[in-house]
Amino acid sequence: ARGPENVSAIYLTGTSARAGRVDKYLEFSRAQGLTGIVFDIKDVYGFVNYRSALSEVKVTQGKTQPPLGELAPLVAYYKEKKFYTIARVALFQDELQATKFPDRQIKLQSGGPLKTKGRTVWVDPNKKAVQDYNLAIIREVLQSGVDEIQLDYVRYPAEGDWKIAEYHGLKDFDEKPRVI
């Protein structure tokens, strides 16, 4: 499948992209000649901005209600307004998943989790549970009818004590590109 050759889009956080608030951004975008909308599905904190049926997502979100609600009707609304829809999913920078599932954190050789600016914000890209969690979200989002999914933070951390981190099953740092 191929999208349009040229897409110029506005980027919106989950709270900005929600129904009832998005119209002013869509009007602005149309006035600027923009043809698409990029909106956060899973942000860098790991918050999933739509109502997911996945049990692991419910664990990470707690009782916080996602601002986008049901995703398919929102995507249909964007398309009705003639916008190309791009759902942004941040993969491995995911503070909520790292907090709720400590076994998915990147660990230091000396023990304990890798911290960035004093917080545990990364999950280990090498762990199958991390990969499966992200793939399940992507599969669910695809069912909403979005035109495209933008994968972000598809990398290992570059802050904190990453040089003394241990990654699950990684023997040599040259293996990182294969994992990603």
With 0.85 as the threshold, say if the pTM is over it: yes
* Predicted local confidence at residue 1, as pLDDT: 56
| DSSP string over the chain | ----S---EEEE-TTTSSTTTSHHHHHHHHHTT--EEEEEEE-TT--B-S----HHHHHHHTTPPPTT-SHHHHHHHHHHTT-EEEEEEE-SB-HHHHHH-GGGBPEETTSSB--BTTB--BB-TT-HHHHHHHHHHHHHHHTTT-SEEEEE--S---SSSGGGEE-TT--SGGGHHHH-
How far is the C-alpha of 98 from the C-alpha of 80, rounded, in Å? 37
Residue 42's beta-bridge partner residues? 48, 89
* Predicted local confidence at residue 20, as pLDDT: 85
What are the residue ranges in the chain where pLDDT is below 70?
A: 1-3
* Predicted local confidence at residue 161, as pLDDT: 79
* Predicted local confidence at residue 137, as pLDDT: 98
* Predicted local confidence at residue 76, as pLDDT: 96
Q: How many residues does the chain have?
A: 180
